[in-house]
Amino acid sequence: MLIVGLGNPGAKYEKTYHNMGFQVVDRLAYLLGAQIKDKTCDALVATFFVKGEKVIIAKPQTYMNLSGVSVKQLLNSNKMKPEEAVIVYDDVDLPIGNLRLRKEGSAGTHNGMRNIVAEVGATNIPRIRVGIGHDDFGGELRDMVLSKVEPEYRGKVDDALENAAYALRDYIENRDFDAVMRKYNSHKNK
């Protein structure tokens, strides 16, 4: 099983909207007592076993728009199929703080996911989208996703990040993405 959080490397991007995927997998690693520190396939990774199955948590270091390069390498080097991965990323088309889990689908407007679909050549990749959409930002989309989360939204974002990490932990432990979707797709922050 491969769990990939999308984001941009470097302190400049740490707490930005576009780094929701990195923040979720960091929380997941903490929950599981893992450290994402090894380097392979253009990613920082943690590798461990749960119930005899290999689990890899990864943070691609290729920058968001080339995330597929790292994901393809990780899948190939571990002889995994696209459906054995879960990609976690921000989604401006979802209200801030909401989660949306799907087993497959198009990349939508997200450039990182678009690159993954193009590189891997498949859309049957499970994903967890963390909503970052809100009406308060009047600038360009690029500026918004690369900005730090505003204090008034921090609570909603923290709740979403925590819920996404718990959803991934449940999936790793139980291997039932349908059950995880039923449970966590209902998590909507008001």
Active centre residues (catalytic)? 18
User: CA-CA distance, 42 to 74, in Å (whole number)?
Assistant: 9
Neighbouring residues of 132: CB distance < 8 A, sequence distance ≥ 6:
17, 20, 90, 91, 92, 94, 96, 145, 157
Residue 179's CB is within 10 A of a number of other CB atoms, namely 12
Kindly tell me the number of DSSP H helices and DSSP E strands found in the chain. 6, 7
Q: Please give the distance of CA 30 from its chain centroid, rounded to a whole number.
A: 15
